[in-house]
Amino acid sequence: MMLSRFLSATARRTSLSPRCLHSAGTGAVDASYQALVESGLRPESLPRHVAVVTDGNRRWAQARGLPTAEGHEAGRRALEQTVWLSRAWGIRALTVFAFSQENFGRPKTEVDYLMGMIERTIRDNVDEYMREGIRVHVIGDSSRRPVSLQNTAREAEEATRNNSRLHLMLATCYSGRWEIVQACRELAREVQGNLLRPEDIDESLLASKLETSVAAGEFSCPDLLIRTSGELRLSNFMLWQSAYSELFFTDTLWPDFGEAEYLQALRSFHSRERRFGQRKLH
């Protein structure tokens, strides 16, 4: 895609942008909470940690004859709404697959645009994160991010470090296999430095070295993992952490994933019986 076409979406963003939940104020938050209750869900029955593979931005734009950038901007708005809904409903952690290491295989103009959009999303919302008690973490290979994004992520993480109502993890330049390898390397260095014996390594210790554990502690593993756009795979996302996650797949493209779709996923989670490999005694 030519750069001029890719960036031409900028002129139309205002007309396409729907009202974001957080800009609507307390009334919108109260209405969303009421929608949760009316759907038959109880706050205590919700997953503590929701993870989302956000797929379908390009197809959404193509179906409307729009530049790819418009699809990503619509996806950004869906992300923002999902964050505020999660916060309003009392979900404690939300991990969003914003950019995978495999995504570097896309055209450079698109990669650059996505990196800039992620940076802009963090920068534009950090004040709201502070007010709403949202702690931001950007997980993944930081060395592959532009310096400006590295700086923005670091500043947001520092500014929100004392927040605890919602842990928002943006997986950027992320790979589940890469994360496991990094954890193994850290353990190997500790063994090499005589800080650890090989026989001391168990699942709990390895899990503690994963980025989600460092970022979110007890909320490191998602209870519910959502994938949009009709694809039925994890695509190298949270491979260790999702061992016992409930999976929810929807044909909805990510830009169209709103309150109703989120509630549908939560209702599906509520209907599951989670045994973690054990037999439930009656």
Q: Residues 208-224: pLDDT tens digits? A: 999 999 999 999 999 99
Task: Report, as an integer, the average pLDDT of 177-201.
Answer: 98
pLDDT tens digits, 65-88 = 999 999 999 999 999 999 999 999
> What percent of the chain is predicted at pLDDT more than 90?
80
What is the distance between the alpha carbons of residues 25 and 42, in angstroms, rounded to a whole number? Answer: 23
Q: Where are the alpha helices (DSSP H) in the chain?
A: 3-7, 13-16, 26-38, 57-63, 68-89, 108-132, 147-159, 176-192, 203-208, 211-216, 259-271
**Which residues neighbour 199 within 8 Å (Cβ) at sequence distance 6 or greater?**
none
| Active site members | 55
Give the pLDDT confidence score for residue 282 in this predicted structure. Answer: 55
Residues whose CB falls within 8 Å of the CB of residue 132, separated by 6 or more in sequence, listed in order: 22, 84, 87, 165, 166
Please state which of the ranges 22-26, 166-170, 182-186, 269-273 shows the lowest mean pLDDT.
Answer: 22-26
Query: Does residue 149 contact residue 133 with C-beta atoms inside 8 Å?
Result: no
What share of the chain has pLDDT > 70, as a percent?
A: 88
Residue predicted with more confidence, 11 or 72 = 72
**Which has the higher per-residue pLDDT, 2 or 196?**
196
Decide: pTM greater than 0.95. no
Identify the pLDDT of residue 20. 47
For residues 132 and 125, what is the distance between their CA atoms, to the nearest angstrom? 11
Higher pLDDT, residue 280 or 154: 154
Residue-level pLDDT at 28: 61
pLDDT reading at 19 higher than 50: no
AA letter at 193: G
Q: Write out the DSSP string of 100-154.
A: EGGGGGS-HHHHHHHHHHHHHHHHHHHHHHHHHTEEEEEES-GGGS-HHHHHHHH
Q: Give the pLDDT of residue 174.
A: 98
Residue 279's pLDDT is 67
In angstroms, rounded to a whole number, what is the distance separating the alpha carbons of residues 219 and 222? 7
Residue 102 to residues 99, 123, 178, 185, 237, Cα–Cα distance (Å):
8, 25, 11, 21, 11
* Inter-CA distances, 242 with 32, 55, 80, 236, Å: 28, 18, 23, 11
When pLDDT is averaged across residues 175-189 and rounded to a whole number, the result is 98
Mind listing the domains of the chain with CATH numbers?
48-80+109-266 (3.40.1180.10)
Averaged pLDDT, 110-134: 97
Q: Average per-residue pLDDT in the chain?
A: 90
